[in-house]
Amino acid sequence: MTAAAEFGAAQEVDRKAGLEPLTAYTQDDLARVNRLIVEYMQSPVALIPQLAGHIVAAGGKRLRPMLTLASARLCGYKGERHIGLAACVEFIHTATLLHDDVVDDSKLRRGLDTANALFGNKASVLVGDFLFSRSFQLMVADGSLAVLRVLSNASATIAEGEVLQLMTSNNTATTEAEYLEVVSGKTAALFAAACEVGALVADRSEDECKALSEFGMSLGIAFQLIDDLLDYTADETVLGKAIGDDFREGKITLPIVLAFERGDDVERAFWRRCLEDMEQDDGDLRRAVELMKAHRALEDTRARAEEHGRRALERLEGFPDGPAKSALSDTLVFNLGRDA
């Protein structure tokens, strides 16, 4: 394992810690979800389980399936359907990751070589398609058109968000509203669907389904904003952490949008050189962080995340107190506070 890989693995452990309340609460169900994932990624075509196994075994946070599991329990669900549907949500996510890494030409994910780095872009595109198809086979096996509607809509929205992200990439003129649109699509739509599915299997009212969908949407936005923030601030903590990946890739995230909007002409020229022309020198990342601080771009990104977090918590209010609600809200609160 390379040094970068070890580093990434350490970072990953760290992020998982933030999900501790949810992981502890869902662990028995999650073990069943993991077994189902392994079962459904099988195929007589050997390369498929090899490649899928690589990304699945790399052990993501399983945050999205955990949201389905905990949401179902929050709604008092006693059955088995949430297991298959949680696996289905994770397959959609995994398919998206495989395609993302091809699109971003990424070499490392969660501290390990990406599937495209190991198996090539071609195989990653096609196995992504396979896993996406598998997710629909799982939904069909579940048999609920309402669930199929929510997840097929989410899939279309995710793809729209990804295309929109492609269009904003390296574009410093991206507005906060446009950026929020990207995040809502590429990240939060699946969080929303994952939570709504929990309410659907429990056969809850339209209002309750909507409340959990909105909970997931706000949660997803808050999570993404904190991720974006940490990409610039994580070095300030006791934990060493590779920062600046987004900057080096010319990814336009909220800290940049805010700093650019609030900057003068000289500063904007700096942002354009670094993120549009992609000409970056030593010290540019440091200057970027200084400008973000000077314009309160980092504080305001956290404030926005907290605002979405508050909205998320509000949407849980109508649900009964108990371990499911605690697991969901503790995870949210913990993650809003995390600084690494």
Which residues sit at the interface with its own copies, rule CB under 8 A?
Answer: 43-48, 95-96, 99, 102-103, 121-123, 125-127, 129-130, 132-134, 136-137, 139-140, 143, 145, 148-149, 152-153, 155-156, 158-160, 162-164, 166-167
Smaller CB separation from its own copies, 3 or 46: 46
Smaller CB separation from its own copies, 160 or 236: 160
Q: Under DSSP, is residue 114 helix (H, G, I), strand (E, B) or coil?
A: coil
Q: Least Å distance between CB 47 and its own copies?
A: 5
Residue 108: which H helix or E strand, with range?
strand 108-109
CB 132 within 8 A of CB 95: yes
Smaller CB separation from its own copies, 146 or 239: 146
Smaller CB separation from its own copies, 109 or 315: 109
The span from the CA of 264 to the CA of 269, in Å, is 9
CB 93 within 8 A of CB 64: yes
Q: Least Å distance between CB 114 and its own copies?
A: 14
CB-based burial label for 265 (10 Å; 0-12, 13-18, 19+): exposed
Q: Of 310, 121, 305, which is closest to residue 222 (Cα–Cα)?
A: 305
Q: Least Å distance between CB 292 and its own copies?
A: 27
Smaller CB separation from its own copies, 69 or 209: 209
Q: Least Å distance between CB 213 and its own copies?
A: 17
Q: Least Å distance between CB 122 and its own copies?
A: 4
Distances (CA, A) of 218 to 42, 55, 139, 175: 34, 27, 25, 19
The span from the CA of 30 to the CA of 254, in Å, is 33
The number of residues in the chain equals: 340
β-bridge pairing 108-109 and 112-113: antiparallel
Q: Which residue has the tokens 């650019």?
A: 260
Which pair of structure tokens corresponds to residue 79?
């059955």
Q: Under DSSP, is residue 109 helix (H, G, I), strand (E, B) or coil?
A: strand
The span from the CA of 233 to the CA of 162, in Å, is 25
Q: Least Å distance between CB 249 and its own copies?
A: 13
Smaller CB separation from its own copies, 41 or 332: 41
Q: Under DSSP, is residue 224 helix (H, G, I), strand (E, B) or coil?
A: helix
Which pair of structure tokens corresponds to residue 104?
């971003």
Q: Least Å distance between CB 138 and its own copies?
A: 9
Distances (CA, A) of 293 to 258, 276, 286, 298: 11, 21, 11, 6
Smaller CB separation from its own copies, 66 or 189: 189
Q: Least Å distance between CB 200 and its own copies?
A: 13
Smaller CB separation from its own copies, 47 or 57: 47
Q: CB 23: neighbour CB atoms within 10 A?
A: 18
Q: Least Å distance between CB 193 and its own copies?
A: 12
Smaller CB separation from its own copies, 139 or 257: 139
The span from the CA of 107 to the CA of 52, in Å, is 16
